[in-house]
């Protein structure tokens, strides 16, 4: 089993996730089918992510859940005043998650999770109207987390563990709206770094007032991805001492993966399970994306983000249709952390409504196939990013228009119990 | 079971499609933008270098791509516009291969070791465009250098005309003329345009202006026949009106609609406003050291000017503030003879030589416009003049002193537009613009008062979302490095102006462009 886990982990190093902010809620097939609720749902090893405290209440000694989703995202942009439009051409994201838990004794469980809660891949047409802000961006992070869970009583448990993060980034954009070389090719900069690591942690608690009623709490710490050994590539700059030098340079940049607090409850009534989660995401840590190049000739880049903390409200329901089949559905309302005037096309995210559904089919009493799907519906939004920097004058220039995004993700997984 | 599966797959596929985002009012669906009474399906642009996209002293591909007709055609394409073709040059160097004397490469902004910027000819690669024909029927028929009457001149695109000196034809039109005897107007009409822009007449005054007024003003000579015009002359107003009317009538003959653009003042152009009339600063150490000696030399002359009743011609350099350059004003009475007599006691046998040098000299005033090309020569010694003076018997040291351009050697006519020349230009421009307005009104054509916008650029600037465009040379964003031709950003502003005129005249509804998305000048140190 361990070998398999490692294999999957290393084969899937190119974990890519989807557009629309860079928090990606696809951390479990069963949870996703229920609006990504789970902090108070005692159901599978997905609890490693949702609430490690709950692992001790799982019925089986060994629980394994693996899943993968295919995320199809699309963002369209237009500006009616200027008659311009663009559409992203994002590749299909395939976030993966692997969870396992093991009951050591009746008061302690150990678990391990590999999941990808943050990531973003947005590919606009090269040199599109907003190319001074982004041509393409590809962020990914892999969280690897061992957890331990203690049952303090039938009513209360706690859990948690350290998180090891591996992050990758690739980001290309044009240097200003108009800078070109002598042949009119747009000057651009790519920054690339991979295998950036850091540590974080999560803790959880679960309270069971009755056998059918769970209340959960979990908190995942903020983790800052600090890129210091990456490579920046300057291309198509004019051959002038007053322009950046074509070629490579080093850079320093930081990207925060914000902390997340979740509280929620679940209630089981006959064949029904109802769940509600509230997420608070501490995005205010993302004040600015600053890229500082080593060569003093290459101007540093400051990109105010000024995100605010945001909330997500999640509702899920499960119905045990037959002994073998469980049906699930969910809804969530996801508030954007992006404030007016800071809507950058690299994270074109506004408020959205998520609709999800899915089912589990028990092939054997031990093995179940889980399927899920969700559709994230964004309102059409007129928005702008008012803090683009003119490389010549240093003045802030706005860029905006109408955006509309969508994300659609079918997923499949396996749950194994022994 | 299989049937059901197929059904579910079909539903799933539909679901995937339904998940594609779509705007409530997508701009690419018809209805938002309208052509009104106009028909943009076959748009032809007629004119000169401004229409062609000439910039930085050359015609090159990116300049052509950013020409206002090309930008406009992209906006038109959202309201029924068709393909817009241009006789693209072969490279982004500009100029013609093997003819770089007359058609040099583009200017780029180079930085010296001390960080000081200066426009220089690009030498990173050589011009690769030749005079060979690309075939006819291009949408952009702007011909750099063309005056109004050239658009109706047969043979203006005759390759044979390039073999004679001076050339009898224009290489830019040679590249896309339909035949040796073709006219620009004829080739335009043959394409059956449904819509056109016409911006012509600039060179009818501009070549006179940029050459410092060395040509003739045919509003004074009364010459009506352009066959008798020199390259730097001002076209007679009646001649212009006749040609312009012929152009408009030709273009509208098959019912085409269009926009006429009027002619901006030369004082809008940095070519005439960049070099100050008083550039001689005592802060310049070399110059400051010479001021006492210069003033002593000129004291004798100034006394003679006073004695001859022209004290206003006195030449004096200030030690505390910048002084005006010394110019030759050909409108002044030539006092060489009297001056010779007056200064003979002081200068002896050299008097006639010195008197000749200052017979029509004076210091410039704020009313004079120095052309951009004077900036490189003011304060420089004229070695030819030194040799000439030495051959006339002037001692070498004095010959050197008398040969500093704009200081002791008056700047020649070609570097200065004196008020009389400016008046000649402005009178012609006013008459041309009256013709253009009248013909627009008479034929129901749209008129874009580009003169007014360029005047605003020169007086305060034109704001846009994210900045301001002014006529300031190099830094203003409005003019390319030749000081005459617009930058892509200024072409964008002109495009918006045309769109405004088209909308109000024809009831069209078109998207504008954001000037911030268009560049200005290009920096490069690939210069010699």
Taking only the tens place, the pLDDT of each residue in A172-230 is: 999 989 999 999 999 999 999 999 999 999 999 999 999 999 999 999 999 999 999 99
- Give the single-character DSSP code of A19: S
Which ranges in B66-183 belong to alpha helices (H)?
A: 68-76, 171-174
Which among B466, B511, B520 is the nearest to A397, CB-wise?
B466
Q: Is the dihedral of CA B209, B214, B219, B220 positive or negative?
A: positive
- Fold of domain B43-273+418-517: Rossmann fold (3.40.50)
Count CB pairs under 8 A between chains A and B: 112
For chain A, say whether B33 makes contact (Cβ under 8 Å): yes
The domain of A301 spans: 2-417
Q: In this structure, are residues A41 and A326 in contact, taking their beta carbons and an 8 Å threshold? A: no
- Taking an 8 Å cut-off on Cβ atoms, the answer to whether A404 and B22 are in contact is yes
Query: Residue written as tokens 């300049």?
Result: B63
For the CA atoms of B8, B9, B11, B16, the dihedral, rounded to the nearest 10 degrees, stands at 140
Q: In this structure, what are the phi and psi dihedrals at residue B50, rounded to the nearest 5 degrees?
A: -65, -40
The C-alpha atoms of residue A43 and residue A284 are separated, in whole angstroms, by 33
Element holding B205 (H helix, E strand) = helix B202-210
Q: Is the pLDDT of residue A35 over 60?
A: yes
CB-based burial of residue B102 (10 Å sphere; 0-12 exposed, 13-18 middle, 19+ buried)?
A: exposed
**Model confidence at B166, in pLDDT bands (50, 70, 90)?**
confident
The C-alpha atoms of residue B55 and residue B61 are separated, in whole angstroms, by 10
The C-alpha atoms of residue B191 and residue A18 are separated, in whole angstroms, by 51
- Give chain A's domain count: 1
Q: How many CB atoms lie within 10 A of CB B512?
A: 17
Q: How many CB atoms lie within 10 A of CB B438?
A: 14
pLDDT tens digits along A71-107:
888 999 999 999 999 999 988 888 899 999 999 999 9
- Taking an 8 Å cut-off on Cβ atoms, the answer to whether A81 and B511 are in contact is yes
Residues 6 or more apart from A257 whose CB is under 8 A from it?
A117, A118, A141, A165, A167, A200, A222, A223, A224, A225
CA of B146 to nearest chain A CA: how many angstroms apart? 26
Output the average pLDDT for chain A.
Answer: 91
Nearest alpha carbon to residue A335 among A307, A306, A372: A307
- Predicted pLDDT at B7: 60
**Token pair listed for B140:** 């952009």
Work out the average pLDDT over B103-109.
Answer: 97
Q: How many CB atoms lie within 10 A of CB A396?
A: 13
Compute CA distances A219 → A157, B8, B305, whole Å. Answer: 15, 40, 94
B residues 433-472 lying closer than 8 A (beta carbon) to A? 465-467
- Predicted pLDDT at B6: 58
Q: Is the pLDDT of residue A17 over 60?
A: no
| Residues of B whose CB is below 8 A from A176 | none
The C-alpha atoms of residue A382 and residue A81 are separated, in whole angstroms, by 12
Predicted-complex ipTM score: 0.88
The C-alpha atoms of residue B524 and residue B528 are separated, in whole angstroms, by 11
Element holding B373 (H helix, E strand) = none
> How many percent of chain B have pLDDT more than 70?
96
Chain A residues in contact with chain B using a Cβ-Cβ cutoff of 8 Å: 72, 74-76, 78-85, 129, 177-180, 182-184, 238-243, 375, 378, 380, 390, 393, 395-398, 402, 404-406, 408
pLDDT tens digits along A204-216:
999 999 999 999 9
CA triple A80-A81-A82, angle to 5 deg:
90
For chain A, say whether B65 makes contact (Cβ under 8 Å): yes
- Predicted pLDDT at B11: 55
**Token pair listed for B35:** 């052509």
| Residues of A whose CB is below 8 A from B523 | 238, 240, 242-243
CA of B362 to nearest chain A CA: how many angstroms apart? 41
Nearest alpha carbon to residue A53 among A155, A186, A200, A169: A155
- Taking an 8 Å cut-off on Cβ atoms, the answer to whether B516 and A402 are in contact is no
- Predicted pLDDT at B322: 94
Work out the average pLDDT over B370-391.
Answer: 92
Q: In this structure, are residues B36 and B507 in contact, taking their beta carbons and an 8 Å threshold? A: yes
Compute CA distances B108 → A186, B51, B53, B101, B337, whole Å. Answer: 17, 21, 16, 17, 47
Optimal mutation site among B12, B21, B72, interface A, most CBs of chain A within 10 A: B21
CATH number of residue A95's parent domain? 2.40.160.60
> How many percent of chain A have pLDDT more than 70?
95
Optimal mutation site among B514, B520, B525, B528, interface A, most CBs of chain A within 10 A: B514
Domain with CATH 3.40.50.1110 in chain B: 43-273+418-517
Residue A14's Cβ-side half-sphere holds a number of Cα atoms within 13 Å equal to 5
Please tell me the least confidently modeled range out of B71-85, B193-207, B295-309.
B295-309
The C-alpha atoms of residue B52 and residue B63 are separated, in whole angstroms, by 8
- Taking an 8 Å cut-off on Cβ atoms, the answer to whether A397 and B61 are in contact is no
Q: Is the pLDDT of residue A8 over 70?
A: no
B514: nearest CA partner in chain A: A82
Work out the average pLDDT over B445-471.
Answer: 93
Per-position b or e across B14-35, b if 16+ CB within 10 A of its CB:
eeeeebebebeeebeeeebbbb
Compute CA distances A204 → A47, A50, A98, A218, B509, whole Å. Answer: 10, 8, 19, 4, 60
CA of A310 to nearest chain B CA: how many angstroms apart? 24
pLDDT tens digits along B138-155:
999 999 999 999 999 999
pTM of the entire structure?
0.91
Q: In this structure, are residues A272 and A290 in contact, taking their beta carbons and an 8 Å threshold? A: no
Please tell me the least confidently modeled range out of A153-157, A316-320, A366-370, B376-380.
B376-380
Query: Residue written as tokens 């890519």?
Result: A16
Q: Is the pLDDT of residue A5 over 90?
A: no
Work out the average pLDDT over B328-334.
Answer: 93
pLDDT tens digits along B12-61:
555 555 568 889 889 887 689 999 999 999 999 999 999 999 999 999 99
**Beta-strand pair A84-87/A72-79:** antiparallel
The C-alpha atoms of residue A54 and residue A158 are separated, in whole angstroms, by 8
Which among A179, A396, A405 is the nearest to B21, CB-wise?
A405
Residues 6 or more apart from A295 whose CB is under 8 A from it?
A244, A245, A249, A250
Q: In this structure, are residues A41 and A273 in contact, taking their beta carbons and an 8 Å threshold? A: yes
User: How far out from the chain centre does Cα A376 lie?
Assistant: 14
- Predicted pLDDT at B430: 98
pLDDT tens digits along B309-326:
999 999 999 999 999 999
Nearest alpha carbon to residue B377 among B412, B402, B337: B412
Query: Residue written as tokens 């938002």?
Result: B32
């Amino acid at each position: 089993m361990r070998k398999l886990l490692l294999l999957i982990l290393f084969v899937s190093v190119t974990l890519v996730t989807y557009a629309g902010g860079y928090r990606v809620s696809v951390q479990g097939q069963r949870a996703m089918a229920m609006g990504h609720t789970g902090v108070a749902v005692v159901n599978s090893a997905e609890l490693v992510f949702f609430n490690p405290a709950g692992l001790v209440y799982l019925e089986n000694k060994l629980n394994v859940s693996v899943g993968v989703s295919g995320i199809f995202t699309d963002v369209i942009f237009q500006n009616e005043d200027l008659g311009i439009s663009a559409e992203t051409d994002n590749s299909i994201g395939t976030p993966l998650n692997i969870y396992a838990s093991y009951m050591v004794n009746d008061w302690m469980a150990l678990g391990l999770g590999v999941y990808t809660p943050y990531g973003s891949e947005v590919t606009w047409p090269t040199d599109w109207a907003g190319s001074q802000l982004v041509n393409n961006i590809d962020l990914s992070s892999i969280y690897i987390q061992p957890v331990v869970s203690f049952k303090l009583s039938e009513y209360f448990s706690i859990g948690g563990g350290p998180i090891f993060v591996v992050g990758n980034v690739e980001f290309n954009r044009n240097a200003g709206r108009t800078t070109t070389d002598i042949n009119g090719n747009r000057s651009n900069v790519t920054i690339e770094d991979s295998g950036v690591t850091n540590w974080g942690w999560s803790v959880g608690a679960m309270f069971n007032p009755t056998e059918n009623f769970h209340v959960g709490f979990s908190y995942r710490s903020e983790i800052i991805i600090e890129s210091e050994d990456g490579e920046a590539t300057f291309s198509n700059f004019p051959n002038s001492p007053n322009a950046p030098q074509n070629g490579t340079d080093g850079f320093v940049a930081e990207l925060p993966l914000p902390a997340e607090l979740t509280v929620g409850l679940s209630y089981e009534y006959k064949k029904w399970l109802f769940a509600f989660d509230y997420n608070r995401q501490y995005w205010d840590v993302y004040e600015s994306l600053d890229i500082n190049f080593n060569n003093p000739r290459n101007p540093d880049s400051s990109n105010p983000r000024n995100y605010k903390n945001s909330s997500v409200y999640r509702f899920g329901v499960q119905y045990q249709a037959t002994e073998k089949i469980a049906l699930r559905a969910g809804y969530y309302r996801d508030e954007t952390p992006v404030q007016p005037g800071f809507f950058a096309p690299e994270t074109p995210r506004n408020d959205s409504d998520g609709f999800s559904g899915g089912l589990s089919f028990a092939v054997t009493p031990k093995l179940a196939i889980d399927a899920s799907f969700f559709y994230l519906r964004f309102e059409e939004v007129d928005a702008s990013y008012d803090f683009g920097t003119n490389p010549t004058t240093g003045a802030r220039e706005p860029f905006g228009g109408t955006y509309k995004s969508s994300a659609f993700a079918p997923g499949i997984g396996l749950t194994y119990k022994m | 079971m299989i049937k059901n599966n197929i059904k579910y797959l079909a539903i799933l596929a539909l679901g995937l499609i339904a998940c594609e985002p779509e705007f409530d009012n997508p701009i690419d669906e018809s209805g938002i933008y309208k052509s009104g009474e106009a028909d943009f399906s076959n748009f032809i642009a007629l004119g000169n270098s401004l229409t062609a996209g000439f910039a930085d002293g050359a015609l090159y591909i990116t300049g052509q791509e950013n020409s206002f007709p090309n930008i406009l055609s992209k906006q038109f394409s959202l309201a029924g516009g068709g393909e817009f073709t241009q006789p693209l040059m072969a490279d982004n160097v500009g100029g013609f291969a093997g003819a770089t004397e007359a058609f040099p490469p583009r200017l780029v902004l180079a930085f010296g070791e001390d960080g000081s910027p200066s426009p220089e000819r690009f030498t990173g690669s050589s011009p690769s465009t030749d005079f060979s024909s690309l075939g006819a029927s291009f949408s952009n028929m702007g011909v750099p250098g063309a005056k109004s009457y050239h658009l109706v001149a047969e043979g203006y695109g005759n390759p044979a005309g390039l073999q004679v000196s001076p050339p009898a034809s224009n290489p830019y039109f040679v590249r896309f003329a339909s035949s040796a005897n073709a006219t620009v107007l004829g080739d335009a009409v043959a394409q059956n345009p449904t819509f056109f822009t016409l911006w012509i007449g600039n060179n009818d005054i501009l070549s006179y202006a940029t050459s410092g007024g060395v040509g003739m003003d045919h509003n004074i000579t009364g010459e009506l026949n352009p066959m008798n015009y020199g390259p730097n002359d001002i076209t007679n107003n009646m001649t212009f009106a006749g040609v312009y009317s012929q152009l408009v009538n030709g273009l509208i003959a098959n019912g085409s609609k269009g926009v006429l653009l009027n002619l901006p003042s030369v004082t809008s152009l940095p070519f005439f406003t960049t070099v100050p009339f008083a550039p001689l600063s005592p802060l310049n150490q070399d110059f400051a050291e010479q001021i006492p000696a210069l003033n002593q030399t000129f004291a004798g002359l100034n006394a003679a000017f006073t004695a001859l009743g022209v004290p206003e011609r006195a030449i004096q350099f200030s030690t505390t503030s910048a002084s005006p350059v010394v110019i030759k004003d050909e409108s002044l009475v030539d006092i060489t003879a009297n001056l010779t007599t007056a200064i003979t006691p002081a200068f002896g046998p050299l008097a006639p030589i010195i008197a000749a040098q200052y017979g029509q000299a004076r210091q410039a005033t704020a009313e004079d416009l120095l052309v951009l090309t004077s900036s490189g020569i003011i304060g420089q010694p004229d070695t030819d003049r030194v040799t000439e003076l030495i051959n006339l018997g002037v001692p070498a040291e004095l010959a050197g002193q008398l040969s500093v351009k704009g200081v002791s050697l008056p700047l020649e006519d070609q570097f200065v537009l004196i008020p009389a020349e400016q008046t000649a230009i402005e009178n012609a421009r006013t008459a041309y613009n009256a013709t253009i307005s009248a013909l627009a009104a008479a034929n129901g054509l749209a008129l874009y008062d580009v003169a007014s916008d360029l005047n605003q650029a020169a007086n305060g600037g034109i704001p846009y979302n994210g900045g301001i465009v002014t006529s300031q040379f190099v830094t203003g964003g409005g003019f390319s490095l030749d000081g005459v031709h617009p930058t892509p950003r200024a072409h964008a502003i002109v495009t918006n102006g045309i769109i405004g005129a088209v909308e109000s005249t024809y009831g069209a509804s078109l998207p504008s462009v954001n000037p911030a998305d268009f560049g200005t000048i290009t920096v490069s140190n690939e210069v010699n």
